[in-house]
């Protein structure tokens, strides 16, 4: 059984707000065996997989980490709502992936910034906004530089130092952000404490952001797949 199964089993039980003892009893196994499943020490059989999926109201594909959607569905470009219904991108066969990724990013940003307003932290809002703007700026410069005929005077900072400078600014924003969300106020920055942070779960996201939930969970799934490719994380 893959590591996703253990992680998702634990997550679903905690979101259901039941103890390990209660869940094990409901699922017809011992608490010790459920503990092994949740820690990834034992593999379950197909019968238990189906029973667990029914108990938590999700698909087997979701339990196995094969789909980011609890129902196990696979989304297409048409399934993702446009942030601006009045402006539709003209999709051609070669641009489907671009349009798909754009929707995932834009819709996920809607969720992110909505959560930021609930956090009520000027520092977190400022540093996340700065980090994202720098990432877009750096990406734009790469696209701009693809054609050597484009006038580099469009930018104030020379391209030879823009990339590293952008990375440094993003690292600084990330450091301040990391401090703030862990309750450490640096200088005039504020800090976030647990009682002031929104409680987030798969259920709350699906309920509060029904239009954008699919985009967010798929963006998370795609991002973590890329991270797994370059790290030893399983």
Fold of 3-63: 434 Repressor (Amino-terminal Domain) (1.10.260)
Q: What is the DSSP letter of 150?
A: S
- Is residue 196 helix, strand or coil? helix
List the chain pLDDT tens, one digit each, 234 residues.
567 888 889 988 988 889 999 999 999 999 999 999 999 889 898 889 999 999 988 888 888 887 777 776 655 555 555 655 555 555 555 567 788 888 899 999 999 999 999 988 999 999 999 999 999 999 999 999 999 999 988 999 998 999 999 999 999 999 999 999 999 999 999 988 877 788 898 889 989 998 899 899 999 988 998 998 898 755
Distance of CA 106 to the CA centre of its chain: 13
Kindly report the CA angle at 233 between 220 and 138, in degrees rounded to 5?
50
User: How many whole angstroms separate alpha carbon 150 and alpha carbon 145?
Assistant: 7
DSSP readout, 92-107?
-GGGHHHHHHHHHHHH
Domain spans in the chain, listed from the N-terminal domain onward: 3-63, 93-230
pTM across the whole model: 0.73
């Amino acid at each position: 059984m893959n590591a996703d199964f253990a992680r998702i089993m634990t997550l679903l039980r905690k979101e259901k707000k039941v103890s390990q003892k209660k869940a094990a009893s409901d699922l017809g196994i011992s608490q010790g065996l459920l503990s092994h499943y949740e820690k990834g020490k034992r593999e379950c059989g197909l019968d238990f997989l189906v029973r667990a999926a029914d108990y938590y109201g999700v698909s087997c594909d979701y339990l196995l980490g094969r789909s980011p959607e609890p129902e196990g569905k696979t989304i297409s470009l048409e399934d993702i709502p446009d942030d601006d219904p009045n402006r539709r991108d003209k999709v051609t066969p070669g641009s489907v992936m671009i349009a798909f990724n754009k929707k995932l990013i834009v819709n996920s940003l809607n969720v992110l910034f909505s959560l930021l307003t609930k956090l009520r932290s000027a520092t977190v809002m400022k540093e996340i906004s700065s980090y994202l703007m720098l990432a877009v700026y750096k990406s734009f410069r790469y696209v701009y530089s693809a054609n050597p005929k484009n006038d580099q005077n469009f930018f104030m900072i020379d391209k030879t130092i823009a990339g590293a400078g952008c990375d440094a600014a993003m690292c600084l924003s990330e450091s301040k952000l990391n401090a703030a969300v862990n309750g450490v106020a640096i200088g005039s920055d504020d800090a976030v404490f647990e009682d002031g942070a929104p409680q987030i779960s798969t259920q709350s996201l699906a309920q509060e952001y029904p239009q954008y939930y699919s985009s967010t969970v798929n963006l998370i799934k795609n991002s973590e797949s890329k991270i797994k490719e370059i790290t030893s994380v399983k």
